[in-house]
Structure 1
């Protein structure tokens, strides 16, 4: 148990203090350290749970610790954080075990600080009923504490979407995500893969939105499954699958994907074209393009061509060459919080404002690559309207040769179809938050 919790402490340090991605560093440690299946599950639970509820946990710790948490030993702070998470949000671990394990972990760092850990946790247990807090403070403060979001994100969602929808976004962004896979039509049929997954002991259900989606509700690591290794399936959220499905892809097209890594959408487009035409996948970094190449090779895709390019810089050679241009632009990622809870803590309003300039530069350049009658598709994994609808309105005003095409994929409850034609997908138990707009160059 101590080994598992010690691993969790190391991962939290990397994510919260070294800006590492939770999924990447968690995978690295789980593959590197000798942990049982039970301990691997515990580490995953503790890491994601602590990141998810950090705001609430830190608010509670602030009631018992006089010094600034930012000035304390980071390992001790993370031991306290993950212990409060277990005591407050998990009921399968006895309280005495949580406290004892925390104290033992702390002793390895400092005997003196282990006494602080013991005192804080026991003080919390004596006073835990005082931390309901749903009826205290103003509306934003209550929501911040209840759903564990920083003030600026809470205010952004409530201001942009209204109190009811905004609170729903906060709640659903804390949902435990399921794994969804896309069946590769180049190699397999849906029924074939479905039966094979069930035969291998996976608990599966059909996708909610996309016909090529299978939701994995339970089973072993999907990436170690032979179906994945053979390229019959690839992991992709249904919101991301919608992008290629809405691009009106036809065989033998020329398609540019300007921000392509790790290649999920490029590969989906190539599959829809049945390995005809050309998909030019660009990215700023060679190492990220390697991921696109690896995915394409595994999936048996032969019509993807990868090249390094900065999408903010205009490339004359691409002018008027593409039937479709996809720009899945760098964004704040506020729709992905259920999978990457550290987004709550490593983003701020200033960093988002700087992203908007990048997004608009990419839009202006990419529009010049579209043929007459071709289409430009803009997508993000954020819910911030300034990065989404406001960018589209700005672009159309500057580029009247483009007009929005109305998107409609059916009624799924969590999809907002805006009167301008673009769509916002709100996060829920099944899908990430997303935004998609499609524009045709009509003159």
Structure 2
């Protein structure tokens, strides 16, 4: 593989923004790919995948390269040299990476790979937290799985097409997919491709949604004609899935504290042909109080640490702090106490997170059921999805019923 200078320099610039400026990797990479219109799909893939790789393995590569943050431009090239060497890519004789000790890089990699926090490239505190919550063996498997690149999975929009027809539509654009057992609407791409440029996307035939995330709407046991409230709807991936499962019949009220996300949901709903979704911004407590005891089903897709989705957001490892996890757990408790009041008698509620930590998941549910606010609820079932077992995102979901 021959390295092209302009692609490498774009990667270095992106890394500088992510590591030194604290910018989000997905936004930085999206901007980097717009720099030169002459770049083809292979060039763009190189920038995106290389940047994500170096972000994912930052701690390991920095240890091998013997550099510390904030990274100078020279040190970013050192990280790049480590990445290239470990992939067997011959380094060009550029002054930025001359005299790279390739043999020493491989030797240090071998020795550091014996230590989990370096091998899996995670902060000390996160490694300790994972062991404390999941146990040594499960955490070792889980963090290893979460360091794999996430597959691209789409959810067929049954309001507009069938899975078989969507598969055919993709084939017309040379995109091969395969069905997933136990995931009724899911197709996984055999190779990564930009599905957002396809006619099928413009026609609203699918949404990109991880296989684990696709389980949540099914877990809520909705039926056409129900009144459903999605309390933390965001840009609406699960609201759209609920609309499809309800065959556009009944009402979905999508709530969020961020109005801009709900605007995106409206755009997506229009494209998907989902007509039974109404958005409401939570700008005062009255928005929630007006809905008390009114919904057949309530979804609480709670804000969380996001540890179950590290494979698609590797920079989250470096942005997360222990204090944030403590704060988010307090928020989860408050949300459960408040939003559970929307469920009407004999209605059902799902509490879900994209975290693998029991303290954000089953322990939150147990504490809720033990509090005054949860005394009229019972746990019907819950499900813990570990990336190491499924190959997809880590998720948790619990189905609760209001007894009176």
TM-score, length of structure 1 as denominator length: 0.85
The residue that corresponds to 1:229 in the other structure is 202
The alpha-carbon deviation at position 332 of structure 1 amounts to 0.7
Alignment partner of 1:400 is 2:375: yes
Alignment partner of 1:129 is 2:90: no
- The number of equivalent residue pairs is 397
Alignment partner of 1:36 is 2:31: no
Q: Distance in 2 between matches of 1:207 and 1:261?
A: 26
The alpha-carbon deviation at position 195 of structure 1 amounts to 1.9
Whether the 8 Å contact between 1:286 and 1:308 is mirrored in structure 2 is yes
Q: 2:387 aligns with which of 427, 432, 440?
A: 427
Gaps of 5+ in 1: 107-116, 137-141, 407-421
The alpha-carbon deviation at position 33 of structure 1 amounts to 3.1
Instruction: Say what the alpha-carbon RMSD is for the aligned residues.
Output: 2.0
Alignment partner of 1:59 is 2:63: yes
The residue that corresponds to 1:283 in the other structure is 256
Moved more, 18-27 or 369-378: 18-27
The residue that corresponds to 2:25 in the other structure is 22
Q: Distance in 1 between matches of 2:284 and 2:218?
A: 23
Gaps of 5+ in 2: none
What's the CA shift string for 1:217-262, capped at 9, x where partnerless? 2263101110111001110001111000111101111111111112
Q: 1:145 to 1:294 in 2, by over 3 A?
A: same
Q: Distance in 2 between matches of 1:223 and 1:312?
A: 37
Q: Distance in 2 between matches of 1:5 and 1:43?
A: 7
Q: 1:132 to 1:163 in 2, by over 3 A?
A: same
Q: Distance in 2 between matches of 1:158 and 1:171?
A: 13
What's the CA shift string for 1:7-62, capped at 9, x where partnerless? 11222222223333222321232134332222111111211110111111111122
SS of equivalent residue, structure 1 residue 60: helix
Q: 1:431 to 1:71 in 2, by over 3 A?
A: closer
Whether the 8 Å contact between 2:257 and 2:283 is mirrored in structure 1 is yes
The residue that corresponds to 2:82 in the other structure is 84
Alignment of 1:378-393 (within 5 A): 378-393=351-366
The residue that corresponds to 2:401 in the other structure is 440
Whether the 8 Å contact between 1:314 and 1:365 is mirrored in structure 2 is no
Q: Distance in 2 between matches of 1:438 and 1:33?
A: 49
Q: Distance in 1 between matches of 2:294 and 2:225?
A: 13
SS of equivalent residue, structure 1 residue 214: strand
The alpha-carbon deviation at position 170 of structure 1 amounts to 1.4
Q: 1:21 to 1:263 in 2, by over 3 A?
A: same
Q: 1:33 to 1:332 in 2, by over 3 A?
A: farther
What's the CA shift string for 1:283-336, capped at 9, x where partnerless? 111211111111101101111111111598873211111111111111110011
The alpha-carbon deviation at position 160 of structure 1 amounts to 2.1
Alignment of 1:174-193 (within 5 A): 174-193=147-166
Q: 1:333 to 1:311 in 2, by over 3 A?
A: farther
Q: Distance in 2 between matches of 1:72 and 1:27?
A: 22
Q: 1:391 to 1:219 in 2, by over 3 A?
A: closer
Whether the 8 Å contact between 2:252 and 2:277 is mirrored in structure 1 is yes
Q: Distance in 1 between matches of 2:339 and 2:70?
A: 46
TM-score, length of structure 2 as denominator length: 0.93
